[in-house]
Structure 1
Amino acid sequence: MATKCGFNQAAWNPRCHVVLHASSTTYEATVGAAGRTTFASALVKRTHGGIASRQIDVRSDVDDFLTAALPHELCHVLLADYSPELPLWCDEGLALQFDSIEKQQLHDRDLRSSLLSGRALPLESLLTLRQYPAAEDWPAFYGQSASVVRCLLQLGGPEKLLQFAELQQSRGVDAALRELYGLRNAGHLAESWHDSLRGSSATPLQLAFSPPISPQAELEPGSFFDLAKAR
């Protein structure tokens, strides 16, 4: 997964604890009110010397819990290790690429609806967003973030995507776009992004993957879930 995100990941110390909850009751008690609308949640705690703990809580009482939510949250943990201050659009947009294709297509539907209704953010505003928007704007934010990340992946791949996400914070969006993508400014990127939406297919990039086991299968060493716990 780290390789697909564009970087090499060293072994984690401390390891990431993956907690499976048998019901929504224990899950919500652990993660709080957000647990009412989610199936998994990641929490990374930092100290001055680095990362103190990593934990992913997952509801195991839903279908396909290994593929429906765990990869998304694991991506958040990976990105937190890569950089403590990735922009929101990149952190969420890249994690969304690991959702199931069906779920990604629902985000694409939300995006197109928000563009028609005018709720989508101007692209430069999305790229510089520092706080999550109001709940009613989440569908637009998530759909737009996923789509912009797909566009940038098509333009230059994952390594350049992460370079841009970091460089834009120190040099500004326009300067980072010129240096890394040869685009004039955010408006030029917006043109490329809108062009990418005009294609005949809305199928996202094939970054999502299935583990080599089913949720009912016995967990063997080396399986995806075993690696998630170990790394």
Structure 2
Amino acid sequence: MTHVLRTAVVTDVGRRRRDNEDTAYVGERLQAVADGMGGHAGGEVASGIAIAVLSELDGHDGADPAAALTEAVAEIGRRLDEQAPAGAGTTLTALLWSGPRFVLAHLGDSRCYRLRDGDLEQLSRDHTLVQDLLDEGRITAEEAFHHPRRAILVRALQAGSASEPDLLHDEAVPGDRYLLCSDGLTDVVPDTEIVGPLAGEDDPEAAARRLVELANDGGGPDNITCVVIDYEG
């Protein structure tokens, strides 16, 4: 089953970091963002391992994307145990396509959004302490955005521990636009401002670049990676 995707990826070190621990991949069937943790030596290794494993799925035949992603995450865990420094880890947010249908695999606080008919929807759920507090009704969305502990993860891919990803099955319609991004964007730019470049820029690369600019205009405290995907049918 064929499909047409227009894709772009833009990554930036930000204004306060010396190194970029984000790694991204954009292919015909697979798009992914991984945000490394554990300092430059560990984070860059961990996110690089995650994307190296996932990129092998780009030639996936589409028979069972969910099973393929689940096995890939398990393989990432094994390679982190073997190759990554102690304490190193990474988030992971990936789309694997089979025609108009896709599976989203997600661990951590990188995000996947869909823009459809002008409405922006977050498809992933953050695996953070603050998201748990928000779900329990103990804080508001505004408090969550500014919470001092918002970076504390409760699930991610780390050497020495096993985590299964959230899996979401969905189907795109022509005109849908998807955004995969690291928290270097979403910790600085609220959803109400993310929607502008996504809806206003026809070219995926222009949209991604504008989002990175907004994060840097807001101080750029972290690495910023944006992958924009247009489903054209």
Task: Classify the TM-score, shorter chain.
Answer: under 0.3
TM-score (norm 1): 0.25
Structure with the bigger RCO (C-alpha within 8 Å, sep 6+) is: 2
More helix by share: 1
More strand by share: 2
